Amino acid sequence: MNNKPCDAVRDRLPEWKAGLLQRGESEAVEVHLAGCDACREELELLEALLLARPEPPTGLEARIRARVRQELLHESAHRNDPTVLPISRGRRWIPAWALSAAAVVLLALGARAILGPGGPDAEQDPLLVAVQEPLPEAWLWMDGMVAGAPVFDDLSDEELEALVRELEGGGS
Amino acid sequence: MKDTSPTRALPDEELVRLARAGTAAAMDELVSRHYESAYRVAMGILRDGDHAADVAQEAFLKAFRGLKGFRGDAAFRTWLLTIVANEAKGLFRRVGRRKEQDLEIAGPLAADAEDAQGRLEEEEEGARVRRLLERLPEKQRQAVTLRVFEALSFREIGALIDSTEGAARVNYHHGIRRLREMLG
């Protein structure tokens, strides 16, 4: 024997118990349950079954979170993930946009030294032009750290580190 | 760890977008929302708490690693649980299921009784229901537990237990009918 309203309500009971129904749907189920013994019995059966629902062991959530952070961060650091450019200097990471900005400034200074202030482009200061260049788009990475776009794709880690050392010593 | 509260209000789709860009807080929130379901789906296949926990963990790693290939055709949860089910089936094929494990020690009960007496009664009832669930044919048991414990649709259940949506529905209704008879 088919009972359409009861069938519809029973079909929705798991979602209703899980709080997944829209407000209107949820209210319709509650109204029906209030006046239907058979559907309340069905609900009691589901509630009995829910007593058998296994819960995860304590600490599993934290364990998964920690593992995800540990492994994915580790992997990104080892494969030059395009979303982050990890260059170790002690325990600090240098965002790629900082490197690119520094390199642009360095190149601009070189050009200025070669051309001189009275060169053919004297009216347009190369340093100013370089600094006005838009920086690469930045992305958020682990813990909100800002990392830059891969502006040195062609360089190896060693070359990048040499560039950093060069930049650090460039001012002296 | 950073305060992840801003991510709590975001829908899964937005969290997936942020996680794909590498935002750890978004990954944390996705773990918080779905680790229980992941664990239970694995438990339903393996019936072993330690293995289920390992599978849930591996599935999250696999899901996050594969986010770039996730097109969003299905909900993240469905996609994740499919990975869980596949991982669990793979592990089951390799190591088998610990049939002898007493499911009464599989984990604490869902219900949180206010007093010890009430808790004891619920534990006893839960253990009894678990034993009855074990008496169902495999597909019926899986359809019932995935539907009742996780509120998955029959289409989702069918995908997880390698059957059609219609077969999942039939298995669920047969299982519920048998449980009703057994529970008296």
If we measure between CA atoms, which residue out of A144, A131, A158, A61 comes closest to residue B18? A144
Judge whether A74 is closer than 8 Å to chain B, CB to CB. no
Report the chain B residue with the minimal C-alpha distance to residue A59.
Answer: B53
Measured between alpha carbons, how far is B40 from B36 in angstroms, rounded to an integer? 6
For B54-84, what is each residue's pLDDT tens digit? 999 999 999 999 998 888 788 999 999 999 9
Q: A143 and B2: CB-CB below 8 Å?
A: yes
Q: How far apart, in whole angstroms, are the C-alpha atoms of residue A137 and residue B21?
A: 13
ipTM of this complex prediction, to 2 decimal places: 0.83
B18 interface with A at CB cutoff 8 Å: yes
Contact status of B120 with chain A (Cβ, < 8 Å): no
Residue of B98, B141, B148, B157 for testing the chain A interface, max A β-carbons within 10 Å: B148
Structure confidence at residue A58 (pLDDT): 95
Higher pLDDT, B94 or A150: B94
Q: Answer yes or no: do A71 and B130 touch at CB < 8 A.
A: no
SS (H, E, C) chain A: CCCHHHHHHHHHHHHHHCCCCCHHHHHHHHHHHHCCHHHHHHHHHHHHHHCCCECCCCCHHHHHHHHHHHHHHHHHHHCCCCCCCCCEECCEECCHHHHHHHHHHHHHHHHHHHHCCCCCCCCCCHHHHHHHCCCCCCEECHHHCEECCCCCCCCCHHHHHHHHHHHHHHCC
Of B61, B107, B111, the CB nearest to A54: B107
Q: How far is B142 from chain A (nearest CA, A)?
A: 12
Interatomic CA distance for residues A127 and A121, integer angstroms: 11
Are A58 and B36 within 8 A, CB to CB?
no
Taking only the tens place, the pLDDT of each residue in A34-72 is 999 999 999 999 999 999 999 999 999 999 999 999 988
Could you tell me the CA-to-CA distances from A150 to A65, A69, A137, A138 in Å, in that order? Answer: 27, 22, 10, 10
Q: How many CA atoms lie within 13 A of B125 on its CB side?
A: 18
Nearest CA in chain B to A84: B22
- pLDDT 10s digits, A76-129: 666 655 444 333 333 344 445 555 565 565 566 655 555 555 444 444 444 444
In this predicted structure, which of A3-12, B35-44, B48-57 has the lowest mean pLDDT?
Answer: A3-12
Q: Which residues of A touch B19 (CB under 8 A)?
A: none
CB distance B22 to A140 below 8 Å: yes
Q: Give the pLDDT band of residue B118 (cuts 50, 70, 90).
A: confident
Q: Which residue of A11, A25, A68 is the best one to mutate when testing the B interface, meaning the one whose CB has the most B CBs within 10 A? A: A68
Instruction: Evaluate if residue B161 carries a pLDDT over 80.
Output: yes
